Amino acid sequence: MTALTSTSDNNSFAIEARNVHLHYGSFRAVKDVNLQIKARKITAIIGPSGCGKSTVLRAFNRMNDFVPSFKMEGEILFHGKNIYDPDVDPVQIRQMIGMVFQKPNPFPKSIYENIAWGARVNGFKGNMDDLVEESLQKAALWEEVKDNLKKNALTLSGGQQQRLCIARTIAVRPEIILMDEPCSALDPIATLKIEELMRDLSSSYTIIIVTHNMQQAARASDYTAFFTMEEDRAGVMVEYDITSHLFVNPKKKQTEDYISGRYG
């Protein structure tokens, strides 16, 4: 997709939402979001249920396109180009901006094939064994599975499955990894492993994570965006700041009330 790759990217933002409104049919789910995501940093999106944080996350790689009633106003700029422009290929967008879901969802195939399949579909022509090893190494899973690559991925533990899904995302060489509650189905140790992995990955990738777990946002992210919903139930972004600032000295009372557990 030349439209997205030809622009030299000198600014430090990996992706930017400008005046974004998101609708499902007549319901406005998210109102007027302006959010500049820093490159190779971890940005957490927090907020109460129904505030539109997952909707915003999905807008970043056009995952909402699968919802027939979905409509978007505004722009999401990636390499200076609105990813919703008619000449943009959403499949390529999803390759460059990958997503890891709440529940680990490996294919019911071997560990090896889970990595290789996506790369093959995307036309990968290099050494597949090397790609599989490199992706599993980056996802901090290689040491645990290197002797069992032919084993069915569904036999792995939940935490290992989630790291496999991260490896699968990395294998198609994205620039941005979106994570939608990636640890909500995992135990605390597996959760901490994912958080450490996110930290390692952030030297090469931009990560945006939606999480209900505020301690996770505080522990694992560099920047935090707090969303809430207004009386018409439309989600709005209340505050966006460096994580350590937002959790020690939030500027808005709504943020203070939410993060200190006095919401509602």
Interface ranges with other proteins (CB under 8 A): 214-215, 218, 247-250, 255-256, 259-264
Supply the minimum distance, in Å, between the C-beta of residue 247 and other proteins: 5
Pick between residue 178 and residue 238 the one whose CB is nearest to other proteins.
238
**Strand, coil or helix: 20:** strand
- Which long-range contacts does 95-98 make (Cβ < 8 Å, 24+ apart)? 95/122, 95/172, 95/173, 95/174, 96/4, 96/174, 96/175, 96/176, 97/15, 97/60, 97/61, 97/174, 97/175, 97/176, 97/177, 97/178, 98/61, 98/169, 98/170, 98/172, 98/174, 98/176, 98/177, 98/178
Please identify which residue in the block is written with the tokens 């790759």.
Answer: 5
CB atoms within 10 A of CB 115: 29
CB-nearer residue toward other proteins: 126 or 261: 261
Q: In what order do the strands lie in the sheet with 42-46?
A: 81-82, 70-78, 13-24, 27-38, 235-242, 223-229, 42-46, 206-210, 176-180, 97-100
| Residue 84 vs 247, nearer CB to other proteins | 247
Between 172 and 214, CB nearer to other proteins: 214
Least Å distance, CB 256 to other proteins, is 5
Q: Which is nearer to other proteins, 233 or 253 (CB)?
A: 253
CB of 215 to other proteins, least distance (A): 6
Q: How far is the CB of 200 from other proteins (least distance, A)?
A: 25
Question: Among residues 7 and 215, whose Cβ is nearest to other proteins?
Answer: 215
Q: Minimal distance in Å, beta carbon 197 to other proteins?
A: 23
Report the distance separating Cα 182 and Cα 191, nearest Å.
8
Supply the minimum distance, in Å, between the C-beta of residue 46 and other proteins: 11
